Amino acid sequence: MTTLTEPPVNDSASVARTLLAEVDDLTAELVGRIRTGDHAYAESTALTDAELGFVVRDNLVSLLGQLSGGVGRRLQPATVVGRVKAELGVPLPAVLHAYRLAGRLLWERALGVATGTRLDVLPQLGSEMWRIIDDYSGAAAEAYGDYLTERVRHDDSERRALLRRLLNGDSHDPTQRDIARALHLPPLGSFVVVHAEADPEALAPLMSIESRLRAEYVESIWITEAGARIGLLSPATERAHQQVLAQLRQHATGRVGVSRPFSTAGDAGAALREAELAGRCAPAGTATVTVYGDTPIPLVLAHAPSAAHEMAHEILGPVLDLPPEECDPLLDTLAMWFECGGSNTEVAQRLHYHRNTIHYRLRRIETLTDRRCSDPKAAAELYVALTAVRLIGLDRSGIPADPPSRGQAQRLGF
């Protein structure tokens, strides 16, 4: 807030005192000029002439009182004006224009009051008067902005509370339509839900994503909860949907799941479940965006994590029981073998080992698990078990382990 300085007591103060004695007449004149000189005020019925006159008089008394040396610094009248006009929806330029009108009126009256030798004080009076009006304008603008900030924060809080109710609700609940309407969502459209898992190493998941999506003409509403950020997005076209995925991939700091598109906002609760499951289709500790349904086997495992734990240990238990320095190379080789379509030669080239080393490791896995890689059914079981291990994480006893760090995840090829 601008700090005001006390004006010197001199002949300019006597001019101000003369104007202060005419404050009622000045108030009536200024109200008339505001009503006719500013289009926004002229159309507004929020304030009556009496109400407008009250705030105008309060500001004139304060301003002239300071010019005359009768009162000290006092910005409260300007602060009140800024907040009241913001509450009533009066545009800020109209508020500031009213202060300029006040300055012109006071200067005109000062020219009429000052005669003879008192004319010499007019430059100083004008300088002081416009400095104070500038301070008042600044204080009003600051109060105006503070109110809008509070209003936006309050409205934003309400929107997020409504979104939480929408995500928690049942699509068959008729109140869901009312909530969607309150959020200004269309009855029919194209929606997706995004579930972004928080990464402990990052400040927050998908920072500034709402403004980034808005730049792509995609509206979204987000809430932040413990461990995740959840958004309801409305990409109107397939192109917009692809832009959403591109933005998510560019700014993901952890696992991000995206639901399938749906057409009514009341289905957001079911879509949230899809987004959560899609996120779990990637290994913990990775910055990956997964759309529900794009990875069928991880999706099945995410649907039944307990069964996935048991199955993985049942199939790969003998390998997992090995010391880490023996277990990790075997799992890395098996993962690369699947990625290379079963080509030992390509695996050897990509891992920079001799082909015989790859052959030996695969044979050892076959011996430990009693499953041959050449048997399609056995290979499928090994693939599903390996996927479960890398998605869920198992310690040497088959109990779910802590999620791997990002460095571990990258080392293991997640």
Indicate which CATH number applies to the domain containing 343.
Answer: 1.10.10.2840
As for how many domains the chain has, the answer is: 3
Domain stops at, among 269, 294, 319 = 294
Q: What DSSP string describes 243-263?
A: HHHHHHHHH-SS-EEEPPPBS
On the question of pLDDT at 382 being above 90, the answer is yes
**pTM for the predicted model, two decimal places:** 0.59
pLDDT in tens, 177-208: 778 888 878 888 899 999 999 866 656 788 88
Q: In which band, very low, low, confident or very high, does the pLDDT at 270 lie, cut at 50, 70 and 90?
A: very high
Rounded-to-integer distance, Cα 368 and Cα 350, Å? 24
Q: Is residue 199 part of a domain?
A: yes
Domain stops at, among 294, 320, 337 = 294
Rounded-to-integer distance, Cα 94 and Cα 211, Å? 29
289 and 379 both lie in a single domain: no
How large is the average pLDDT for residues 28-44? 73
Strands 256-258 and 192-197 come out as: antiparallel
pLDDT in tens, 286-340: 889 999 999 999 999 988 888 999 999 999 999 999 999 999 999 999 999 999 9
270 and 313 both lie in a single domain: no
- Compute the mean pLDDT over every residue in the chain, rounded to the nearest whole number: 83
Q: In which band, very low, low, confident or very high, does the pLDDT at 43 lie, cut at 50, 70 and 90?
A: very low
Rounded-to-integer distance, Cα 179 and Cα 221, Å? 13
361 and 406 both lie in a single domain: yes
68 and 144 both lie in a single domain: yes
60 and 145 both lie in a single domain: yes
On the question of pLDDT at 281 being above 60, the answer is yes
More confident residue, 176 or 102: 102
Strand ranges for 51-95 from DSSP E: none
Q: Give the domain range for residue 146.
A: 11-150
Percent of the chain with pLDDT over 70: 85
Residue 392: predicted pLDDT: 75
Q: Is residue 2 part of a domain?
A: no
28 and 125 both lie in a single domain: yes
Q: What is the CATH number of the domain that holds 222?
A: 3.30.70
Contacts of 9 (CB under 8 A, 6+ apart): 69
189 and 128 both lie in a single domain: no
103 and 186 both lie in a single domain: no
> CA quadruple 91, 93, 95, 97: dihedral positive or negative?
negative
Q: Is residue 165 part of a domain?
A: no
262 and 373 both lie in a single domain: no
Q: Tokens 């509206």 identify what position? A: 219
Range of weakest confidence among 12-16, 113-117, 237-241, 249-253:
113-117
Residue 395: predicted pLDDT: 44
Give a three-class secondary structure readout of 185-226. Answer: CCCCCCEEEEEEECCCCCCCCCCCHHHHHHHCCCEEEEEEEC
Q: Is residue 335 part of a domain?
A: yes
Q: In which band, very low, low, confident or very high, does the pLDDT at 40 lie, cut at 50, 70 and 90?
A: low
Strands 192-197 and 228-234 come out as: antiparallel
Residue 399: predicted pLDDT: 41
Q: Is residue 155 part of a domain?
A: no
On the question of pLDDT at 152 being above 90, the answer is no
Which residue type occupies 364? R
Residue 403: predicted pLDDT: 41
* CB neighbour class for 315 (10 Å; exposed up to 12, middle 13-18, buried from 19): buried
Rounded-to-integer distance, Cα 18 and Cα 68, Å? 9
289 and 329 both lie in a single domain: no
Rounded-to-integer distance, Cα 222 and Cα 116, Å? 68
Residue 14: predicted pLDDT: 84
How large is the average pLDDT for residues 237-259? 93
Q: Is residue 377 part of a domain?
A: yes
Q: Is residue 6 part of a domain?
A: no
140 and 35 both lie in a single domain: yes
Rounded-to-integer distance, Cα 381 and Cα 313, Å? 12
Sheet holding 219-225, edge to edge: 219-225, 228-234, 192-197, 256-258, 289-291
Domain stops at, among 294, 326, 342 = 294
Q: Tokens 């602060």 identify what position? A: 79
Q: What is the CATH number of the domain that holds 131?
A: 1.10.490.10
Q: In which band, very low, low, confident or very high, does the pLDDT at 240 lie, cut at 50, 70 and 90?
A: very high
Rounded-to-integer distance, Cα 272 and Cα 204, Å? 19
130 and 87 both lie in a single domain: yes
Rounded-to-integer distance, Cα 96 and Cα 286, Å? 53
Residue 44: predicted pLDDT: 61
Q: Is residue 18 part of a domain?
A: yes
